[in-house]
Structures are given as structure tokens and as C-alpha cells.
Amino acid sequence: MKKEAAPKTEATPKRNKDLFYKRQMQIIKKATHLFMKKGYAQTSMREIAKATGIDIRNLYYFIKNKEDILFLVFDMLHKPELELFEKQGIMDIDDPIAQLSAAIRGLLDAGGRNLDDEVLLLYRESKSLPKRLLKNILARESEVVSHIETILKKGKARKIFAVEDTSYTANLIVYQLCVYPLRHWNMKEYNREELSDLMVKHVLKMVLA
């Protein structure tokens, strides 16, 4: 409402960066947990301060403001998903079926056991971010979708997959990975591994020629 500055935290210490970013990460992690549990708007800065053991006024030395925390949280949550495609060798797998399966399993395990509520957080709190930052976040997610679409196109070209609209289906696949966090109330019966298998099967049935 008041200022709309850069997402960067104002203080940029030149020496001993480690400690600064360590504290920042400490804040982000605690905030993530609180945001997931109570929601962004329902979590006060005082709660974050208490959870981290850092005084409220001190908090503002490490982060710019509350919105900045939310942005940093999203930033952290999406990192593993992108690294999956960039650093790990998924895009190098030749067989489209094996590649798609690996991508799905990889994305499901990307955030460890966290992914569950993390994605929910993204969908839930995206309206709390200013448009500029939201676009930044969503652009990252679009990258993931693009990677999936690339796999689909290759499979389609080899006549292994039969998908009408690769963009739509890629979106649907990424979207499906969040069924559990978003609909946990109806799906308590499955554990992570069962769910992985079910998803791979469903997706393959959906795209196979």
C-alpha cells in the first residue's frame, strides 16, 4: 500500500555474509512453518519474532517487511523444483516415458515432505503478494510447466504420446501434483509412495497413445 520497493533486503553486509543469510534463512524457515499452519495474514510479525527468538525490532534488520518475508518464502520453496530440471539429469533422459515418470516422482519429492503444504501456501496466499512479485513467482512455476511440455512434445513427435494440447496437458500434470496438499481432507488413505505410483499411472494413461 505504501512503498513498492525492490524485493532485495536493504542491508547488504560485505563481510561475514554467512551469518546474515543464516539468520535470514532462520527467519524464512520459521515464517514458512507459521504461514503454512495459520496463513499469511493470520501470522503476525510478533509471532515470527517469538518463534525465531529474535526481537521484533531486530527482525527488520534482516528483512525489509512482512511482504518481503512471504516473497523470500516462495523463493525458497520453488528452488528445489527448478534445480530438479537444471542440475539433475532429467532433461537428458531419452525415453519420454521414463523421463516423464522421473520428472513426476522428482517433483513430488522435490521439497521433501514439505511440498505438501508448501504448494497450498502458494495457491492460498498468492493474492497477498503485490502483482510485481507475484509475476516473478509465477514465472518460475511456468518454467517447470515448460519443461514438462518439452517432454510431452518430444513424446508426441515420436508418436509415443497422444496429446491434443501440450500446453494444457502440461499445466494439468503440474497441477495434479498438488492434489494431495489441496485435497488432503478427502485423501487421507494414501501415503506418499502410493500416491507417487497412482499419479505416474494416471498421467501415463492420460498421455500415452
Contacted by 128, from a second copy, DNA, none: CB < 5 to 8 Å by type: a second copy
| Segment lying near a second copy (by CB under 8 A), choices 2-10, 85-93, 152-160, 172-180 | 172-180
Give the span between the Cα atoms of 163 and 166, in whole angstroms. 6
Query: CB–CB of 109/102 below 8 Å?
Result: no
Q: Applying CB under 8 A, does 127 fall inside the site for a second copy? A: yes
For the beta carbon of residue 110, count every other beta carbon within 10 angstroms: 20
Give the span between the Cα atoms of 102 and 90, in whole angstroms. 7
> 101 to 120, contacts with a second copy by CB under 8 A?
120
> 175 to 194, contacts with a second copy by CB under 8 A?
175-176, 179, 182-183, 185-187, 189-190
b/e per residue 71-93 (b: at least 16 CB within 10 A): bbbbebbbebbeebbeeeebeee
User: Counting beta carbons within 10 angstroms of the beta carbon of residue 46, is it exposed (0 to 12), middle (13 to 18) or buried (19 or more)?
Assistant: exposed
Report the residue number, 14 or 188, with the smaller CB distance to DNA: 14
Give the span between the Cα atoms of 207 and 42, in whole angstroms. 41
| Identity of the residue numbered 130 | P
Nearest distance, CB of residue 113 and a second copy, angstroms: 19
Please pick, from the candidates 32, 34, 67, 104, the single residue that binds DNA as defined by CB under 7 A: 67
Report the residue number, 28 or 151, with the smaller CB distance to DNA: 28
Count the residues of the shown chain that bind a second copy, applying the rule CB under 8 A: 36
| Segment lying near DNA (by CB under 7 A), choices 55-63, 129-137, 169-177, 194-202 | 55-63
**Which three cell numbers, joined as nine digits, stand for 172?**
494439468
Length of the chain: 209
> 8 to 67, contacts with a second copy by CB under 8 A?
38-39, 41-42
Contact footprint for DNA (CB under 7 A): 3, 11, 13-16, 19-20, 23, 43-47, 54-58, 60-61, 65-67
